[in-house]
């Protein structure tokens, strides 16, 4: 009856023409009616939906500017937005206040995002990529992870003396894997497509996916040595459970599921039972299905998800059916935004200054610097000559730097807490001490990695822009006094294997004649669907090239060498200051592989 009276009061106010205070009185009556009807229900899930949806909507409005102009991805902005709405600023979204289920919720959120990302990495790699690049991946994953694991553990023990070396190994195991979600945000996009060779992008994606699954054995040996009283028992469980069961069974399970569903989808497609949308839905459905089975039987669910994605696209059928479809990217985009908003609100800033555990901000900063310098760069600089995809020390340095830590580190640290005792205050033993310190240390390194790796490309792009503007004035004067060579030809490597082609053949279009115009020194640009080429003028002091992208996702060039001569007999000398134009004499294409 009270509710009816309140509503009638609102209606009577709305139709009263003599009410001079109509707006204010209507507003007060409206609020009174809402309170009487108990319509206003503020809850944690509702606020979470508002924050996630609002961020994605607002970020999407300026996504082209932010991602393609400023080169800042959703990882950095999502984390920053999570910090703003978290308990230390707006106090709107507070995951750590969700009670005893907080760690379980964090673990499962990270698991879903990681499994979807790992499955997508496996699908997007070329057919049979893992088989053809197994040697390179083995060299990049195992020695690099082992080196970083031991070295980071030593640094942790030196900075935090309350932790013994075994506990330090457990924390280092959380920081050993490269995060595939953050790595995907770095290796994709306009800047990566233009400036990072496709082989580097692919090997970094595959490596980040593989070493995520292999983080289980590194964590397992540390946990077993911490909680078991016998070293022999710990090593036995580590070998039988950590390697033979979790890793091997998880890999086999994922590969079998991927191949099985690949065969089933081909049969269904042949009979006309499946549509295109259902293919794309497998990105989410099959990844969740795989980790559900793997986690239920206790196998390595992340490695199973990656193996399933690689297996389902092994023959290329799945890739063909999902080609040019953006729904999978939309799934990754929304999940990544939500995940890093969650991480930003989850970060325990008050734990970064805990003198009782020897945790202070300056120690955490020193640890972060040591990890960024020592974790990946030294082993990759030492071993890059054994990895065909990495051709120079600069590419090895780039690959070593871009080993971000993010979702995977949070996931492994949350998984470790499920196997450690609940800490008392003060901790009664080393296991409780480890449980109290693992997430403050790991979360600070994750925050630092998001900032450093997420903003590396914007700073690198800014540096390139300053350098190009600085050198353009010098290049303008120099080009006037040299033979006319287009300035599109300065970025590619020489190809070691060459075969001759007819001297008068057009390099880019394959026509039998080239331009005879003595005033023209530029070959026509092919259409975007033609294979990318690199034209090299030989017998000159510097390599002079022309580069075209091979496709929308592949900017790495095919290598072509061209011998250029002037009108006089002999090779061209671009430093001679001659004003006569160059012509193409011989063309060399790379031999078929």
Q: pTM (2 decimals)?
A: 0.73
For 483-494, what is each residue's pLDDT tens digit? 444 444 444 444
- The secondary structure of 149-180, three-state, reads HHHHHHHHHHHCCCCCHHHHHHHHHHHCCCCH
Q: How long a stretch of residues is the chain? A: 593
Query: Encoding tokens for residue 272?
Result: 């006309």
Q: What is the pLDDT of residue 563?
A: 45
CB-CB contact of 447 with 367 (8 Å): no
Q: Strand pairing partners for 388? A: none
> What does the DSSP assignment read for 233-268?
HHHHHIIIIIIIIIIIIHHHHHHHHHHHHHHHHHHH
Q: What is the pLDDT of residue 27?
A: 62
CA–CA distances in Å: residue 522 to residues 474, 484, 519: 22, 9, 9
Nearest Cα to Cα of residue 452 among 182, 175, 202:
182
Report the DSSP pairing between strands 583-590 and 560-565.
Answer: antiparallel
Q: Strand pairing partners for 564? A: 584
CB-CB contact of 135 with 303 (8 Å): no
CB-CB contact of 455 with 76 (8 Å): yes
Look at residue 37 and give its three-state secondary structure: helix
Burial class of 115 by CB neighbour count within 10 A (0 to 12, 13 to 18, 19+): buried
- Rounded Cα distance, 571 and 585, in Å: 10
Q: What is the pLDDT of residue 484?
A: 44
Query: Encoding tokens for residue 28?
Result: 């007060």
Q: What is the DSSP letter of 64?
A: I
Q: What is the pLDDT of residue 469?
A: 47
Query: Hey, CA dihedral for 257, 259, 264, 266, is it positive or negative?
Result: positive
Q: Is 211 left (phi over 0), alpha (psi -120 to 50) or beta?
A: alpha
Burial class of 508 by CB neighbour count within 10 A (0 to 12, 13 to 18, 19+): middle
The tally of CA atoms less than 13 A away on the side-chain side of residue 298 is: 7
- Rounded Cα distance, 89 and 50, in Å: 17
Q: What is the pLDDT of residue 47?
A: 80
- Rounded Cα distance, 346 and 106, in Å: 9
Nearest Cα to Cα of residue 213 among 290, 281, 279:
290
> Helix (H) and strand (E) counts for the chain?
25, 4
Q: What is the pLDDT of residue 80?
A: 93
Sheet holding 560-565, edge to edge: 498-501, 583-590, 560-565, 535-537
Q: What is the pLDDT of residue 37?
A: 62
Q: Tell me the average confidence (pLDDT) per consecutive run of 10 residues in the chain, 593 residues long.
A: 46 47 63 65 79 87 82 88 92 86 91 90 84 87 92 95 93 90 72 79 87 85 85 86 87 92 89 82 86 90 90 83 72 86 94 92 95 93 90 90 90 92 88 93 95 82 52 45 44 44 43 42 44 43 38 44 44 43 46 41
**Dihedral, 567, 569, 574, 580 alpha carbons, nearest 10:** -20
Listed in sequence order, the residues at least 6 apart from 50 whose beta carbon sits closer than 8 Å to its beta carbon are none
CB-CB contact of 215 with 177 (8 Å): yes
Nearest Cα to Cα of residue 582 among 540, 541, 542:
540
Q: Strand pairing partners for 32? A: none
CB-CB contact of 112 with 288 (8 Å): yes
For 283-342, what is each residue's pLDDT tens digit? 788 889 999 999 899 888 999 999 999 898 888 888 787 777 666 677 788 888 899 999
Listed in sequence order, the residues at least 6 apart from 158 whose beta carbon sits closer than 8 Å to its beta carbon are none
> What does the DSSP assignment read for 389-420?
T--SHHHHHHHHH----SHHHHHHHHHHHHTS
Q: What is the pLDDT of residue 278?
A: 81
> Rounded to 5, what percent of the chain is helix, strand, coil?
65, 5, 30
Query: Encoding tokens for residue 387?
Result: 């990895």
């Amino acid at each position: 009856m009270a509710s009816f009276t309140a509503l009638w009061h609102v209606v009577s106010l709305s139709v009263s023409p003599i009410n001079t205070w109509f707006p204010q009185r209507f507003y007060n009556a409206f609020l009174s009616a809402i309170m009487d009807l108990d319509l206003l229900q503020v809850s944690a899930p509702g606020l979470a939906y508002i924050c996630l949806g609002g961020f994605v909507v607002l970020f999407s409005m300026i996504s082209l500017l932010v991602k393609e102009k400023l080169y800042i991805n959703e990882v950095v902005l999502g984390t920053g937005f999570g910090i703003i709405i978290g308990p230390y600023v707006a106090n709107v979204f507070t995951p750590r206040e969700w009670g005893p289920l907080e760690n379980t919720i964090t673990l499962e959120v990270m698991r879903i995002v990681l499994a979807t990302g790992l499955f997508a990495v496996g699908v997007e790699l070329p057919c049979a990529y893992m088989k053809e690049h197994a040697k390179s991946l083995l060299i990049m994953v195992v020695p690099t992870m082992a080196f970083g694991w031991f070295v980071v553990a030593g640094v942790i023990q030196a900075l935090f003396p309350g932790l013994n070396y075994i506990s330090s190994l457990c924390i280092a195991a959380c920081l050993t894997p490269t995060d595939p979600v953050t790595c995907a945000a770095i290796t994709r996009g306009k800047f990566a497509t233009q400036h990072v060779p496709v082989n580097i992008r692919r090997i970094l994606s595959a490596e980040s996916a593989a070493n995520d699954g292999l983080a289980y054995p590194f964590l397992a040996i540390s946990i077993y040595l911490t909680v078991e009283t016998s070293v022999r028992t710990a090593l036995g469980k580590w070998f039988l459970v950590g390697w033979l069961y979790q890793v091997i069974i998880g890999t086999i399970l994922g590969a079998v599921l991927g191949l099985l569903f690949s065969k089933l989808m081909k049969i269904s497609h042949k009979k006309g039972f499946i549509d295109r949308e259902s293919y794309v839905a497998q990105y989410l459905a099959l990844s969740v299905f795989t980790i559900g089975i793997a986690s239920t039987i206790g196998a390595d669910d992340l490695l199973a998800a990656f193996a399933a994605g690689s297996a389902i696209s092994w023959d290329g059928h799945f890739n063909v059916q999902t080609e040019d479809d953006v729904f999978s990217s939309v799934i990754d985009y929304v999940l990544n935004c939500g995940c890093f908003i969650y991480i930003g609100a989850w970060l325990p800033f008050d734990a970064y200054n805990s003198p009782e555990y020897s945790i202070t901000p300056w120690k955490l900063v020193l640890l972060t610097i040591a990890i960024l310098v020592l974790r990946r760069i030294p082993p990759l600089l030492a071993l890059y000559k054994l990895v065909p995809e990495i051709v120079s020390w600069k590419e090895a340095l780039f690959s070593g730097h871009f080993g971000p830590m993010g979702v995977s580190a949070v996931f492994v640290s949350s998984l470790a807490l499920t196997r450690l005792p609940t800490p008392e205050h003060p901790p009664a033993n080393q296991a409780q001490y480890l449980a109290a310190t693992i997430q403050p240390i790991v979360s600070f390194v994750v925050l630092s990695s998001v900032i450093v790796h997420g903003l590396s490309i914007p700073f690198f792009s800014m540096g390139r822009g300053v350098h190009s503007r600085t050198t353009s004035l010098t290049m303008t004067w120099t080009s006037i006094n040299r033979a006319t060579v287009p300035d599109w030809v300065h970025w590619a490597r020489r190809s070691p294997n060459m075969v001759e082609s007819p001297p008068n053949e057009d390099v880019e279009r394959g026509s039998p004649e080239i331009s005879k115009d003595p005033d023209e020194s530029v070959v026509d640009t092919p259409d975007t669907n033609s294979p990318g080429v690199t034209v090299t003028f030989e017998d000159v002091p510097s390599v002079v090239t022309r580069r075209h992208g091979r496709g929308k996702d592949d900017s790495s060039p095919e290598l072509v060498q061209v011998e250029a001569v002037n009108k006089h007999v002999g090779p061209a000398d671009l430093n001679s200051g001659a004003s006569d134009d160059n012509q193409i004499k011989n063309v060399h294409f790379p031999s078929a592989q």
